[in-house]
Amino acid sequence: GAVVSQHPSRVICKSGTSVKIECRSLDFQATTMFWYRQFPKKSLMLMATSNEGSKATYEQGVEKDKFLINHASLTLSTLTVTSAHPEDSSFYICRAQIYTGVRNQPQHFGDGTRLSIL
Amino acid sequence: DAKTTQPPSMDCAEGRAANLPCNHSTISGNEYVYWYRQIHSQGPQYIIHGLKNNETNEMASLIITEDRKSSTLILPHATLRDTAVYYCIVRLNNNAGNMLTFGGGTRLMVKP
């Protein structure tokens, strides 16, 4: 079945560092990728939606200059947390949308990246 | 997308059936009911989905009421590995890329 690979699975870094998270669709083309953020014991919160070759659409309250999203190809989207601070520590999850022309398809998530900023 | 309501937590004995309810009273005619689960520190995993007929696959069964205002996910023989947060989502079939809005989910604890 369709697989979404997210890398790295865990990052621990110092405050002020920029961190890049990759999301790849391994055996399908993803026209749209979604990025979520999840705090401990909370539900997933959509941060942004990215379409291949165009600018990402950010949800209200999400700083686009803080969370840079690039979707340069149909199999790769990246989320860069710029100048990360402790409050950016969270679990980040990507989701890839398969383009099949049939819309009611299961969605495919990456396994998440746990970001810890010291 | 329609809002869903789920109990925040449930317990189930290992080997017994786990029945997880979901209310979606404002669901519209073209919205599907999807179930996902999230095991600790992993991404959500698709379980099953349906429109109005009951559905069954190797993981679970989905029972949707005739008025479609509620549904129940059934794990027929729960195991310890089924301990997870279960999310019920209803979603439109639209041009916006199939948005998924997650509610609070039900934290299922399967106990030995």
Structure tokens at A21: 């998270």
CA A79 from centre of chain: 5
**Binning pLDDT at 50, 70 and 90, where does residue B98 land?**
low
Binary contact (B104, A111; C-beta < 8 A) = no
Binary contact (B97, A49; C-beta < 8 A) = yes
Residue of A66, A71, A67 lying closest to A54 (CA atoms)? A71
Nearest chain B CA: its distance from A105 CA (Å): 9
Residue B1 has pLDDT above 80, yes or no: no
Contact B79, B13 (CB under 8 A): no
Contact A67, A78 (CB under 8 A): no
β-bridge mates for residue B36, sequence order: B46, B87
Judging contacts by C-beta atoms under 8 Å, the chain A residues touching residue B102 are 36, 43-45
CA A59 vs CA A9, A15, A83, A113, B70: distances in Å? 24, 25, 20, 20, 29
Structure tokens at A57: 């659409």
Q: Tens of pLDDT along A41-63?
A: 899 999 999 988 888 999 999 99
Phi, psi of A86 (to 5 degrees): -50, -35
Residues in chain B: 112
Q: How many CB pairs under 8 A join A and B?
A: 57
Contact B92, B31 (CB under 8 A): yes
β-bridge mates for residue B98, sequence order: none
**Binning pLDDT at 50, 70 and 90, where does residue B62 land?**
very high
Q: What does DSSP assign to residue B76?
A: T
B56-64 mean pLDDT: 96
pLDDT > 70 fraction of chain A, expressed in percent and rounded: 92
Determine the Cα–Cα distance for residues B12 and B91; give it in Å rounded to an integer. 28
Q: What is the per-residue pLDDT for B97?
A: 41
Determine the Cα–Cα distance for residues B98 and A51; give it in Å rounded to an integer. 13
Q: What burial letters (b/e) apply to B20-55, b meaning 16+ CB within 10 Å?
A: bebbbeebeeebbbbbbbbeeebbbbbbbbbeeeeb
Binary contact (B100, A107; C-beta < 8 A) = yes
Binary contact (B43, A34; C-beta < 8 A) = no
**Binning pLDDT at 50, 70 and 90, where does residue A2 land?**
low
Q: Within the 19-48 window of chain B, which residues sit less than 8 Å (CB to CB) from chain A?
A: 32, 34, 36, 41-46
Determine the Cα–Cα distance for residues A64 and B5; give it in Å rounded to an integer. 31
Q: Tens of pLDDT along A11-40?
A: 999 999 999 999 998 888 888 899 999 999
Over the Cα atoms of chain B, what is R_g?
13
* Cβ-nearest to B46 among A93, A94, A107: A107
* Cβ-nearest to A111 among B42, B49, B98: B42
With CA atoms as reference, the chain A residue closest to B98 would be A103
Q: What does DSSP assign to residue A110?
A: -
